[in-house]
Structure formats: structure tokens, C-alpha cells
Amino acid sequence: MSGNWDKEVDVLVVGSGAGGMLSALVAAKNHADVLIVEKEALWGGTSATSGAGIWIPASDQAAEAGFHDKVEDAFTYVRALSADNVPDANIRAYVENAARMLRWMGANTPLEYHAFPYPDYHAENPGGSPTGYRTHMPLPLDGRALGDDVRTLRFASPAASLFGYLNWHFDETYILLFRAKGWWLHLAKSLLRYWLDWPFRFTSRKDRRLTLGNALAGGLRLALKEAGVPLWLKSPLEGLVEEEGKVTGALVRHQGKLLRIGARKGVVLAAGGFDKNQAMRDEHAPLYPKALYSGGTGGNTGDAIRAGQELGAGTMNMQSAWAAPVFYVPGEDRGRLCTIERALPGCMMVSQSGMRYLNEAASYHIVGQQMARREREQGDASPSWFVFDHTYRHSYPVGPVYPLVPDWAQNGMVKTILKKGRTIAELARAMGVDAVTLEATVSRFNQHAAKGEDPDFHRGDAAYDRMYGDPRVSPNPCLRPLDKGPFYAMPIYPGDIGTNGGLTTDARARVLGADGKPIPGLYAIGNSAASAMGESYPGAGVTIGPALTFGYIAAQDMTGSNAE
């Protein structure tokens, strides 16, 4: 059957997330003929909905900011956190190539990334960075340059946009969150810019000021358009083609036809994990049972992983996910990641028994894992309750609840999950929690919070905790008593932002068979591959950072170039 193709290219990339698009771009810049196929009607994958942070040790940008990082420190830090079954070589490939990848991306796309003083999630560990500068964020881009393609760019997550349509940059979060001087003027200008984008506004809700994940996806797509790389939408992978032990192409359904697409140099699987495949979750990741609560996009159903398995590819750490606490609004298709709210003063999380059981301000991965384990062991953490008082309610957002919007004016479905009581006892009854237990929990919390202490779970002790606290509150920016009624609660669930177990790969992103040997012509990156992080989450950006880096490595490997 060799040569019997409906279309033939050098490199076929399955998936249009950041890792897939960068891999395609690198291959194209190395003079390969490249095609990207995307299952869904929208492009950008989960990357487009994300914050777009990337964890890059020892970058040029960090050095410019005065942080002189060492690759060996980053390796020490990740190695201790990652799973034992992740090879040293994979971790080294990441930390040694990440800065090179970022340098290449900056030179070959319109994207501009800056290093941020964002502490590592376990900064106190050997090799960790309490001052940050390993997490990098993109500057905004003008999406008008994309032309009509901006219409099919996936919207940002509701947790990473205002009112579900207005994009914001990372720095702007704090202006609006703490209502800094002139915040209302800043918001008014942003809304005016959005609504006066005529005539485009009459035909699309898309914000053409691209920020965060939309900026990352948009910048990569702009570079791909300039390089002449086509991206087919509504073109799902239906299988891989193997000839004489080598992957030579794939079966792709496009415009109603099943096409045989040849790939002379290789196929890159970059189609995400299996977060939205309930059957795969039930089989492999029972600790995280609810596909509905995942923040991943609907197309993440494990197609690429299953296609690899059909050819005898090995898998690793399929039980794992990028865990996270999420709010869920009935009727929505995914959970809303809860990142900042938990670290702000004047709130707590309790189980259905009315007791605290964790440090609310820890990284969302740690909190999500602890919630999932608590649910498995005691059955009272899904949902848990996010409890806060009147001061918190009117100071900060809580998932879909906006601080300056009265209770009666909140979205109809949001009102069904927002519980309220004049007293803690009345709130407990609305929650269905034992009032005596909840009153005792709040009383103990308040007693210590007034002094800025949390002897039970040490909230606010770590550098990461304090980063999302309110700097106006002292002595601990994460702690304040819940002492002003009425009191509120919302259910919060153990969820995830994607699975991170998948096909076993080596340091060159080549997929390995069950025998541990590379399957010629087949590569996997992002959540289609088992993460080099194992079941850990070392810092903001260790999802997309490795996806981009291994996408870069894969493209260089298959096109025979190691040039930066």
C-alpha cells in the first residue's frame, strides 16, 4: 500500500494546541511540508483556553530580569517531585531544551514572553525558586491580523475572561481583583474597546485583543499562516497507518471522506489527553471520576492515545491528572478552575461534615489531589464547600459570582448554587451541614486568623500561598476572620484541567512500544504523552511548557535539524 495516499506530506500533526502548532512550525521552518489536522470546529485546543503560562528554567528573559537560574537546579527540583518511572533523560531533555525552544519561538513568531516573579509551587524544595522567574507569560496580540481565522479560535475559559467574553492580561487581574486606583476606568476602556470593534462585533462575540491562551494560540497560528502551513478543522484522526514496523501516515476523516494521509518523516500526536472520555477515566483514573468537572475541552477523548495503543505503544501513569478544585455551574460543559480565590483572606473550605481538611491556598494541583483522596477515603469532599463572609463577598470574585453584582442579579444558574445565611448556623442548614460542627470550625479558624496564623494547615506560610493573598491584609495576606454576616457558601469539586498520563515517550518525544523500543515515525507530546512531571505540578506552566519543548524536540528530530 506504500504510496497509495490521498494526500502526502512530510510531517502530519494531529491536534492544534500550542505544542502541535509549534511542532508544525519548527518542521516547516526546517523546509518540511506540513499539515495540521484538528478534530473540532475550533482551533487552539485546551492551550487557547488556558493562562498560557510556560515554565522555562534558565531563560534569557529571567536573566534580563536579574534571575540567573541554573538548569541543574531545575533538574534537581523536578526530579525529586516527578514519578520514579519517569526517566532522568526525559526530565533533562525538558530543562535543557526549554530555554532554547523559547528563544526559537521568540525569533520565529510574533509572540513575546516575559518572565514573572511567580514562585514555584514547591519553592522551599531543593532547586526551587521562591522568587519565581521560571514562569513566563505572553504579552497581548492584535487578533485582527488573523483575519477570518480569529472566528474559529477557541474562546478563553470562563475562568480566564470577564463576563465570558472579555480577554484580560495577567497583570490586569490584580488591577480588577483588588480594585486598584482607576480600576473602573481601566474596565470601562476595555469594554468600550470591545463593543466598538465594528463591524466585527455584529457577527462575533470574539475579543480580538488576544491575551493569555488566545495570545499563545493566535501568535503560533499567525506564524503558521506566514509559513503556508494548512490547518484542517473538523478532521478527526481515525487511526494510524503502519508499514513494515514504521508509522507512515494516518487515516483522517475530512469533509465527509476517510482519507489516507502519508507522512514521509513522521506523525506527531498532539491531541490532548482523555479528560472528556468518561469510559477511559473510569478504567484508568478512578481517583478523578467526573469528566464533566474537567476544565479540558470537549475534544479531549484520548483518540491519539488509543491510536498509539492499537499499534502496540506503551502507556504510563494513566491514573494521573492535572488535578484542580473547580466550581461547576449547572448547564456548563466544564468545571471552572479555582486558582486565586482560595488564597484570599476571609474564606475557607470545609468537607460535607463541616470541617477543614487542607491548606486552601496551596497550588490547585495539590488541593485537587487532596480533595480527590479525601472523597475516596471518606466520601465527603465532592462537593466540598467554599465558605466566605460578607466582606469577602463584596471584595473579591468567587468563580462565577462577581463582587459588585447583588445576589438577586447573579446569573440564574449561579443563584441555584450560592447558599446564604444570616448566621453560620443558618448557612450550615442551607448547605446541609451540621451547624454545631461548622460553627466550631469557623470559631477555631477565626481565633487564629485574627493573629495571621493557621496552626492546623499553615495557610500563608509558603511563598506560593502568599502570592495570591491580598497584600493590603496583614500580618498574613491569606488570613482574616469570617466575622461579618451574611455568610455564603458554594460547592467546590475535585476536578482537573486535563489528564497527564499517556503514551510512553523517550527524550526525543518518540513513542515507545511495550518493549521499550521507539516506534519509527511516531511522536507524542503534550497530554497525549505521559508527562515528564509524573503526578506532580512543580510550577505554573508545566503543562504547556513541556508540550512546546517536546514539540520543538520532535520536529527537530524528524526533520534532521538541531539548529536553534
Mean pLDDT of 390-403: 94
Query: Is there a cis peptide before residue 345, judged by omega within 30 degrees of 0?
Result: no
Cβ burial 396-425 (10 Å sphere, 16+ → b, else e) = bbbbbbbeeeeeeebeeebeebbbbbeebe
Query: Is there a cis peptide before residue 383, judged by omega within 30 degrees of 0?
Result: yes
- Give the integer Cα–Cα distance in Å for 352 and 508: 46
Q: What pLDDT digit, counting tens, does each position of 11-42 carry?
A: 999 999 999 999 999 999 999 999 999 999 99
Mean pLDDT of 45-67: 96
pLDDT at 213 over 70: yes
* Least confident stretch, 107-116, 123-132, 183-192, 248-257: 183-192
Phi and psi dihedrals of 200, rounded to 5? Answer: -55, -35
C-alpha cell recorded at residue 415: 443563584
Cβ burial 203-235 (10 Å sphere, 16+ → b, else e) = eeebbbbbbbbbbbbbbbbbbbeeeebebbbeb
What is the structure's pLDDT at 169? 81
pLDDT at 448 over 70: yes
* E strands in 292-431: 315-316, 321-327, 336-337, 347-350, 384-388, 419-421
Phi and psi dihedrals of 260, rounded to 5? Answer: -95, 115
The residue with cell 502541535 is 20
- Give the ranges where 320-473 is alpha helix by DSSP (H): 364-378, 390-393, 412-415, 424-431, 435-449, 463-467
Phi and psi dihedrals of 208, rounded to 5? Answer: -85, 0
Query: Is there a contact between 111 and 219 (Cβ–Cβ < 8 Å)?
Result: yes
pLDDT at 563 over 60: no
Mean pLDDT of 403-425: 94
Mean pLDDT of 537-542: 96
Percentage of the chain surpassing pLDDT 70? 99
pLDDT at 479 over 70: yes
CATH 3.40.50.2300 fits 8-153+209-320+500-564, yes or no: no
CATH tag for 324-496 (out of 1.10.150.170, 3.40.50.300, 3.40.50.1820, 3.90.700.10): 3.90.700.10
Secondary element (H or E) of residue 491: strand 487-499
Q: How confident is the model at residue 182 (pLDDT cuts 50, 70, 90)?
A: confident
pLDDT at 187 over 80: yes
What is the structure's pLDDT at 183? 84
Query: Is there a contact between 342 and 325 (Cβ–Cβ < 8 Å)?
Result: yes
Q: Which residues pair with 141 in a beta bridge?
A: 210
Q: What pLDDT digit, counting tens, does each position of 215-225 carry?
A: 999 999 999 99
The residue with cell 470574585 is 397
C-alpha cell recorded at residue 7: 494526500
**Residue 129, class by beta-carbon neighbours within 10 Å (0-12 exposed, 13-18 middle, 19+ buried)?**
buried
Domain ranges of the chain: 8-153+209-320+500-564, 324-496
Q: Do domains 8-153+209-320+500-564 and 324-496 have the same CATH topology?
A: no
* Least confident stretch, 169-178, 234-243, 521-530: 169-178
pLDDT at 51 over 80: yes
Q: How confident is the model at residue 348 (pLDDT cuts 50, 70, 90)?
A: very high
pLDDT at 260 over 80: yes
Mean pLDDT of 449-469: 96
What is the structure's pLDDT at 2? 54
- Give the integer Cα–Cα distance in Å for 260 and 253: 9
Q: Which has more pLDDT, 75 or 2?
A: 75
Q: Which of 57, 75, 45 is nearest to 136 (CA)?
A: 57
What is the structure's pLDDT at 562? 55
* Least confident stretch, 159-163, 210-214, 343-347: 159-163
Query: Is there a contact between 156 and 48 (Cβ–Cβ < 8 Å)?
Result: yes
Q: Sign (positive/negative) of CA torsion 28, 113, 551, 229?
A: negative
* Whole-model pTM over 0.75: yes
